[in-house]
């Protein structure tokens, strides 16, 4: 494999409210879950003080953007109302926008009404949709209207049933067909700033997840930014027989593999370690390139 063709090479930019974010070198997206039932950090960031402290940590450690979620998408999570989701998000967005007015903010939601409100009320820059429009048929039109970068993730089912014996004939083929159709529809609507997320852990077994990771390089065929969310997930702690709290080392290992196979964005709970992984992989690749010049 020629790493220089997959990493620190292709010029990719996102238009975030008139600001161009260069993804020719990988970036880190820090996670801020303001939910009481997230699989790893539930209840940790539900007060003003906790949100302030976590936001400060995320950006001081080098994240390029923050992803704020008010609806837990862990397997079997409870379905909450639109009003409750917006209430959670609004509290966090008010804090982040006031204290860090220039930062790039992504909101993790599959609801078009939430997407519209957070962009209009808080100048949110990116919408991160775990369902790629499957759970809200108005989402694509809303993104086209808002003209913000849009993260589309592959998920089979919904958070309530996605892990009920997920099965595929050919998982990579199915995901590629899924993304191809979504991209075509979005492009026709005038949406061009699209980020792909294979959806590790969303309607997939542990074996499926590692199959996708092993073949991640092939997503370059879409010529779009690729985001991976591996942070502290069950595909790590089930193999290592530990818990999400003990899965940081495993997360760094898998993030490194993802970087070597073309990931542009690492969505993580632990920013410092992801930044270090990027720096070391960059040095590794540059050393290999210097040998061939």
Return the active site residues.
Answer: 233, 267
d(CA 106, CA 211): 28
Identify the bridge partners of residue 195 per DSSP, sorted by sequence position. Answer: 151
3-state secondary structure of 12: coil
Q: In what order do the strands lie in the sheet with 194-197?
A: 194-197, 150-153, 126-129, 104-108, 65-69, 27-33, 265-268, 227-228
Nearest alpha carbon to residue 91 among 61, 69, 120: 69
3-state secondary structure of 14: strand
DSSP 101-147: TTSEEEEE-S-HHHHHHHHHHH---EEEETTTTSS-TTHHHHHHHHT
DSSP 189-237: TT---EEEE--TTSS--HHHHHHHHHTGGGGGGG-S-BEE--TT-HHHH
């Amino acid at each position: 494999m020629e790493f220089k063709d997959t990493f620190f090479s292709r010029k990719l930019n996102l238009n975030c409210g008139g600001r161009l974010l260069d993804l020719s070198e990988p970036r880190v997206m820090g996670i801020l879950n303001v939910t009481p039932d997230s699989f790893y950090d539930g209840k940790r960031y539900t007060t003003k003080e906790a949100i302030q402290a976590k936001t400060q940590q995320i950006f001081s450690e080098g994240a390029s953007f923050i992803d704020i979620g008010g609806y837990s998408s862990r397997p079997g999570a409870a379905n909450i109302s639109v009003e409750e989701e917006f209430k959670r998000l609004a509290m966090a967005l008010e804090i982040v926008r006031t204290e860090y007015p220039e930062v790039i903010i992504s909101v993790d939601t599959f609801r078009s009404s939430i997407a519209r409100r957070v962009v209009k009320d808080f100048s949110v820059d990116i919408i991160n949709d775990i369902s790629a429009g499957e759970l809200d048929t108005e989402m694509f039109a809303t993104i086209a209207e808002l003209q913000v970068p849009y993260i589309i993730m592959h998920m089979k089912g919904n958070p309530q049933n996605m892990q009920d014996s997920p099965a595929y004939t050919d998982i990579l083929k199915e995901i590629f067909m899924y993304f191809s159709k979504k991209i075509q529809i979005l492009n026709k609507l005038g949406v061009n700033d699209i980020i792909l997320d294979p959806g590790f852990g969303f309607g997939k077994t542990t074996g499926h997840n590692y199959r996708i990771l092993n073949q991640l390089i092939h997503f370059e065929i879409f010529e779009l930014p690729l985001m991976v969310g591996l942070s502290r997930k069950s595909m790590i702690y089930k193999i290592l027989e530990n818990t999400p709290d003990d899965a940081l080392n495993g997360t760094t290992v898998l993030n490194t593999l993802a970087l070597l196979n073309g990931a542009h964005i690492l969505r993580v709970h632990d920013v410092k370690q992801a930044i270090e992984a990027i720096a070391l992989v960059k040095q590794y690749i540059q050393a290999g390139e210097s040998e061939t010049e």
